[in-house]
Amino acid sequence: MAKVKSLKIFIIIIGLVQPLFGQESIFKDYAEEHNKRSYCLYPSTLRMINLQKNEAFDDMASSFEKFLIYELDSISASNRSFNSMLSSYKEEGFEEYLTIIGAGNYTTVLGEEKRVNEMVGVFGIENQMFAFFLRGNIAWQKIPTLVNTLSENDLFNVLDMRQWE
Amino acid sequence: MKKVTTLAVALFLAIGAMAQGEVVSKYFDRFSGNEDYVKASISSKMFSLFTELEAGSEEEQEFLEAISKLKGMKVLYGDSVANSSKMYKEGISDVQKAGFEELMTVLDAEENFHFAIKEKSGVISELIMVSGGKKGFGIMSLYGEIDLKNISRIARNMNVQGLSGLDKLDDSEN
């Protein structure tokens, strides 16, 4: 009887955890096939790029659970195949938060905050296109403090590969 | 009977919500594949995230209050449009056909602006701005509960191309 009870609890836990992985897997399935570089940032990694130990940035970093950024390959950037990935998220109940398209801009941010706090999207910087997935309780109220206190040399820009060469 | 009334009210509200931003949405569809135009859309969810921000100064506080009642914004803007003057006139005609009431028109040597609103019981639910210059054309819709006094504040702080004309509303009050 105890074994049956444990099995039931196990099944319930798996059932609860499954949607979380399900949401992330849509992103990963797409991005891992179409990327040039990938970055997986956790609170500890975000704290590492904070060269000047900015306190507001550390507070912000500890509020997310996971932050995945993939630089997409040039084919995916030009044929915009990421739109199908974003459509899958919309089917999962993600809502459109922001879209800026045209004249060299391409930014879309979708979010879901009912079941788990997640955001997914794409954005372009110069000729590079990135897809991102973020999970965690983002401390939005800390952003103005962060923007006001961050100076140019505070952070190491992991997305700028020229710094690595 | 009560259920039918509730359903009718819910449907009416839903249709009303869907209709907001509809004029600009038509332009989004029309120029969907045209890279000469920037199309920006901010949803109520994004505005609700802004409202969680902590204001650091009085000006920031005023900005957050101004956006707290907005439900969305749609902007289409192109700065090298061949037939901008024709587009401007067409934009105004579309706004009028959609039942908007003219608020103000600014005729300028560089760029003209036409502002129109949808108002019910003293509450402005949507503001549309159409702009047209020598080469540029833009159409923007702000919807939600709009206080005209705060509109120029939103334009100044959001730094979105195509919103600069909203400052004209402030000029008209001075």
Mean pLDDT of A110-124: 84
pLDDT above 60 for A11: no
- Residue B99: per-residue pLDDT: 94
Mean pLDDT of A106-114: 87
- Per mean pLDDT, which range of A27-31, A89-93, A161-165, B77-81 is the poorest? A161-165
- Residue B102: per-residue pLDDT: 93
Contact A142/B at CB under 8 A? yes
Tokens of A4: 């049956």
- Residue B14: per-residue pLDDT: 41
| Contact: A95, B41; criterion CB under 8 Å | no
Averaging pLDDT over each range in A4-13, A56-65, A86-95, B139-148, which range is the top one? A86-95
Tokens 């897997």 correspond to what residue? A25
- Nearest by CB to residue A111, choosing from B40, B45, B55, is B45
Mean pLDDT of A8-26: 54
- Nearest by CB to residue A102, choosing from B39, B52, B60, is B39
Domains of chain B: 21-173 (3.40.1000)
- Residue A18: per-residue pLDDT: 42
* pLDDT digit string, tens, across residues A144-158: 666 666 666 666 666
- Nearest by CB to residue B42, choosing from A98, A142, A145, is A98
When the pLDDT of each residue in chain A is averaged and rounded to a whole number, the result is 77
Whole-prediction pTM value? 0.72
- Nearest by CB to residue B37, choosing from A103, A111, A140, is A103
* pLDDT digit string, tens, across residues B78-94: 988 889 999 999 999 99
* pLDDT digit string, tens, across residues A38-81: 887 788 887 887 777 877 778 777 877 888 889 999 998 888 89
| Contact: B46, A98; criterion CB under 8 Å | yes
Contact A137/B at CB under 8 A? no
HEC per residue, chain B: CHHHHHHHHHHHHHHHHHHCCHHHHHHHHHCCCCCCCEEEEECHHHHHHHCCCCCCCHHHHHHHHHHCCEEEEEEEEECCCCCHHHHHHHHHHHHHHCCCEEEEEECCCCEEEEEEEEEECCEEEEEEEEEEECCCEEEEEEEEEECHHHHHHHHHHHCCCCCHHHHHHHHHHC
Position with higher pLDDT, B70 vs A165: B70
Contacts of A96 in chain B (CB under 8 A): 41, 43, 45
Closest CA of chain B from A161, distance in Å: 28
- Asked if this assembly's ipTM is beyond 0.85, the reply is no
- Residue A72: per-residue pLDDT: 92
Confidence of residue A113 (pLDDT cuts 50, 70, 90): confident
Position with higher pLDDT, A89 vs B134: A89
Closest CA of chain A from B64, distance in Å: 11
Positions of chain B with pLDDT under 50:
1-18
Mean pLDDT of A7-16: 46
When the pLDDT of each residue in chain B is averaged and rounded to a whole number, the result is 79
